[in-house]
A and B are shown apart, each in its own frame.
Chain A
Amino acid sequence: MISFTPSEEQQMIVNTVRQFANDEIREVYRDCEESGEIPDDLVNTAWEFGLIATAIPEEFGGLGEEQSILTNSLATEELAWGDLAIAMKILCPSLVAYPILDMGTDDQKKKYLPAFCEEKYKAATAALIEPRFNFDATELSTKAKLDGGDYVLNGEKCYVPLAADADVILVYAAENGGCQGFIVEKGTKGLEIGEREGNMGIKALPTYELSLKDCRVPKENRLGGEAGCDYNRILNRSRVALSAMAVGLARASFEYARDYAKDRTAFGEPIASRQAIAFMLAENAIEVDAMRLMTWEAAWKLDRKEDATKEASLAKMYADDMVLLVTDRGVQVLGGHGYIREHPVELYLRNGRGIATFLGMAIV
């Protein structure tokens, strides 16, 4: 039965997260951006919502509820509406938690999942992207090779969020013609975490380059053990999550520009009374909704355990294009003021540019 209404439970989650994004994230996001740091208290408060722990089975300390990528997308939009960097930090542990929950061996679940059900936030991360312009997630340069009882990892990664704080890094590498995940624990020999990166936007989220030089991990650390992982599904989840973030970000920019245009007077009337401005805002409203509905459909398909490569890729491609268009218009509607850091629209534009780059930085 076709329906566009979130369930009551989903709506409750949306309301709670929206309130938090409005009251707490938006209070501090600019300071975070300028200082490059996100307060632990803020992240711990968000952690208490149990966005990740909810779906982890009780035997590992979670609530054991059914996992829903669609519900996650709804919550993700709200967090990203608050601030993209803070949303990414809050959700970063899911880069490890969900692949292990979905595809990990029993031993991997037992060993790693309880950490995500603790009271305080636990940093964990994944390393997927590689530092080259023609990076292709389906053909990784980082290699894994079986040598006796170990896998030996070699390669370079970048944009690894929270790498310095994470106890566990899920490294994706090419192996036997496919791509697989390898659980690398902090301090493993051969794992070198580089300097914190400096990026155009999403500056509050620390990201790092990472190099693997003959980094050995036990055979049991291959995600999913001998069966391996469904890498394509991991990528599709990531596409959906980033699309949901793009929706939240685009909506934030659209709303700010809309309110500004109603308030700002020129030639004796609000600039929103001019069609040149009003039509940009109308198109923004349409595209934000279109992005959202495409994201929902892809998430819905993933929840049904179907192959959603087409839907997720199209949703992500559309989100990449539209988040830039909408956030650029946000700056344009504010004119000179849009360029000034007193208003958030310049930040939204810089963050929007990152969505297209950051495949694999989100997996909710």
Chain B
Amino acid sequence: MIDFELSPEEQAILDKAHEDALKLYRPIARYYDEHEHESPDEFIDTMWSKRGEGALFGLGVAAALRIEETCWGDAGLMLVSPGIGLGGAAVTATGTPEQRERFLKRFNEGNPKWGAMAMTEPQCGSDTSAIQTTAVRDGDEWVLNGEKIFVTWGKRAVEQEGIVVVWATVDKSAGRAGMKSFVVECGTPGMKMEKLEHKLGIRASDTATVVFEDCRIPFENILGSPEVRKIDKTKTEGFKKAMATFDATRPIVAAMALGVGRASLDFVKETLDKEGIKIRYGLPRTKLTALERDVMEMEAHYKAAKMLMMRAVWMMSQLLPNSIESSMAKAKAGLAVTRITQKAVELMGPLGYSRKNLLEKWMRDGKINDIFEGTGQINMLVVARRVLEFSRDQLK
């Protein structure tokens, strides 16, 4: 039965998340934007102490809406909040029960921890199947060598506490089939954080280069099967696992985008409201001002992306295949947040461009959602292949 109603418990959690966004995120958002690489330790401790909140929602729609709420507060700070992160998501999606126990249990105890995922390399971004980092088996161990860039949580997961899930090839000649993921625990010799990036937005978040030099990890740290199925190159299990992780993370990125977009939209509407300008719904275009029309268009694109996001997350929570829906949501939300935040800066004139307000920051923050976890174009390609039922050879 089609239904869009949240339970009272879910609504209460969202209300709480909104309050936190206002009280804990917003007041320090500008400071950590202007002090890139400075660690918001107090904020991190608070978030770590609150980590149980909302946990009962698992990966359902309410959990995604909670993430939206948090990013309405601040997307950069949301990304330094400790937790299993993308690395943990990969372990959850593809690990064995023992691996989940061994790697994820720590996220419920002790000091703050982060779970990073290292996939992108200097020479390969969207083409993740072309990665150069190698994993060579040596007895009971794997030996990792290579360089990973743009690792979100890279500094904290490597230097403080946590895990890094690294994508590497065990056999370059096998192409995608040789691609495997490995869990490296913080403090493992040979894994080093080399550099922190300076970014357009989400500056509170640590985006790092992580280097592996003869980094040895136990054999059991491989996620999925160590076997390389060479016979049938179309059966690219390793690669598919990476993609399965994306099915789970892309709608979450869409939710993040929506939070930033709604922050901008709310600012615009509140500012107009203070000036006595109300958005009038249900009038013909000849009666609407250009401003009203712009705001309604921003709202419509927000709503369109939100519905697609909710559907993708809902399907995931029902264990339904959601690759196309995830990519649809991610592509649309990336476009929508870019459009909404840029329009908000434009509409608010001097208020929009000034660093006194957060609109210009949101425009910078929002853009990342059209890039990470697959650029808008990559997601469009995924959608196109699906609707055309084309293989990657038929549509490059």
Contacts and interface: CB of A to CB of B under 8 A. Distances in A.
Given A136-B287, A138-B283, A272-B395, A261 B314 contact: no
B300 A7 contact: no
Contacts of B2: 3-7, 10, 70, 296, 300
A189 B240 CA distance: 73
Nearest to A7: B1
B286 A133 contact: yes
A21 B351 CA distance: 53
Contacts of B60: 2
A297 B282 contact: no
Interface residues of B, number: 46
B290 interface: no
Interface string A274-286: 0100110111011
B380 interface: yes
B387 A258 contact: yes
Interface string A230-244: 001001100100000
Interface string B282-314: 111011000000001101110111011011001
Nearest to B310: A2
Interface residues of A, number: 54
B284 A134 contact: yes
Nearest to A134: B286
Contacts of A70: 2
A232 B283 CA distance: 12
Contacts of B286: 133-134, 136
B13 interface: no
Interface in A264-297: 270, 272-273, 275, 278-279, 281-283, 285-287, 289-291, 293-294, 296-297
A2 B5 contact: yes
Contacts of B314: 2-4
Contact of B388 (A262, A293, A309): A262
Which applies to chain A's interface (DSSP): helix, strand, loop or mixed? helix
Nearest to A310: B281
Which applies to chain B's interface (DSSP): helix, strand, loop or mixed? helix
A135 interface: yes
Contact of B300 (A270, A283, A318): A318
B5 A314 contact: no
Given A2-B5, A3-B2, A317 B331 contact: no
A6 B7 CA distance: 19
B282 A286 contact: no
B384 A286 contact: no
Interface in A165-201: none
Contacts of B143: none
Contact of A314 (B284, B299, B388): B299
Given A258-B387, A272-B388, A137 B332 contact: no
Interface of B: 1-7, 60-62, 281-284, 286-287, 296-297, 299-301, 303-305, 307-308, 310-311, 314-315, 325, 328, 331-332, 377, 380-381, 383-385, 387-388, 390, 394-396
Interface of A: 1-7, 10, 70, 133-138, 232, 235-236, 239, 258, 261-262, 270, 272-273, 275, 278-279, 281-283, 285-287, 289-291, 293-294, 296-297, 300-301, 309-315, 317-318, 321, 359
